[in-house]
Amino acid sequence: MGVILIGSDPSANTNVIANSSDVSSLDVIEIQATDERMFQILKDNNDNTCVNTEAITIEWKRFYAIHWTRVVVTDPALLYNDLHVFSREVRSDKEQEVNITASIVHNTSIDLYFTIKTLARFILRSKSNVNLGICSMWISGGRNVALKQVTKQSSVLGMSQSNNAVDGNRKTCSRTDPQDGSPHWSITFAIPYPIRNFALHFEAKNRLYMYTMKSINEHGQDVGAYTSTYKDDLDELISAKTVMVKSIKVQVDHKLTGDGSLVICEFEAYTECPPMKWGLE
Domain membership of residue 277 (yes or no) is no
The torsion region of residue 29 among left (phi > 0), alpha (psi -120 to 50) and beta comes to: alpha
* Cα separation, 237 vs 200, whole angstroms: 7
Domain membership of residue 86 (yes or no) is yes
Higher pLDDT, 30 or 269: 269
Cα 179 to chain centroid distance, Å, stands at 34
* pTM given for the model: 0.70
Write the CATH number for 50: 2.60.120.260
Higher pLDDT, 267 or 45: 267
Looking at residue 71, its pLDDT comes to 87
To the nearest whole number, what is the mean pLDDT of the chain?
77
Higher pLDDT, 47 or 185: 185
Give the mean pLDDT of 38-66: 76
Looking at residue 279, its pLDDT comes to 44
Could you list the residue range(s) of the whole structural domain that residue 82 is in?
A: 3-141
Q: How many domains does the chain have?
A: 2
Instruction: Identify the band that residue 16 occupies on the pLDDT scale cut at 50, 70 and 90.
Output: very low
* Cα separation, 201 vs 266, whole angstroms: 5
* Cα separation, 32 vs 270, whole angstroms: 28
What amino acid occupies position 90? V
Which contiguous run of DSSP H or E holds residue 60?
A: strand 55-60
Looking at residue 218, its pLDDT comes to 96
Residue closest to 261 by CA, chosen among 171, 158, 188, 149:
158
63 shares its domain with 127: yes
pLDDT at 2 over 50: no
- Residues 6 or more apart whose Cβ sits within 8 Å of residue 174: 151, 153, 160, 161, 162, 163, 164, 165, 185, 262, 263, 264, 265
16 shares its domain with 35: yes
Last residue of a domain, one of 141, 163, 184: 141
Looking at residue 40, its pLDDT comes to 74
pLDDT at 122 over 90: no
